Amino acid sequence: MNWLNDVKWDAQGLVPVIAQEASSGDVLMFAWMNREALEQTAALGRAVYFSRSRNRLWFKGEESGHVQTVHEIRLDCDNDVVLLKVTQLGHTPGIACHTGRHSCFFSVLKTDAAGAVAWEATDPVLKDPESIYK
């Protein structure tokens, strides 16, 4: 698989991956892949990541049912970051985040009237995580 050799894997054998919703352009999440995860993603047409916390392949949606269909796989100019164009399945609108939100990037840096700067969760929880992960 020459195309897998073109990827510059880091010292841990991983590459960072951005998942973007094909229909909306929304950045849904950021994760990591090892060589096998990227190979499986291309072969299956669904997102397969490498879970650093569990130290194993993570077939996105394996517990939640929130599978990502992969339409396109892109590589950046340094060959060390992957971008997926996906459809987020299992719920409408799509839920990519383990908190039950559409996207993992739901916290926005805001400045209040008094000038205090803080991260504010702006996007709604679409489904209770308790009911996602039974």
Known binding-site residues for Mg(2+) equal 76, 78, 80
User: Any contact of residue 118 with a copy of itself (CB under 8 A)?
Assistant: yes
User: Any contact of residue 89 with a copy of itself (CB under 8 A)?
Assistant: no
- Site map (CB under 8 A) of a copy of itself, residues 14-53, x = contact: --x-x-x---xxxx-xx-----------x-----------
User: Any contact of residue 119 with a copy of itself (CB under 8 A)?
Assistant: yes
**Contact criterion met (CB below 8 Å) for 52 and 58:** no
Nearer to a copy of itself, 62 or 107 (CB): 107
CB contact burial 54-84 (16+ within 10 A = b; e otherwise)? eeeebbbbeebebbbbbeebebeeeeebbbb
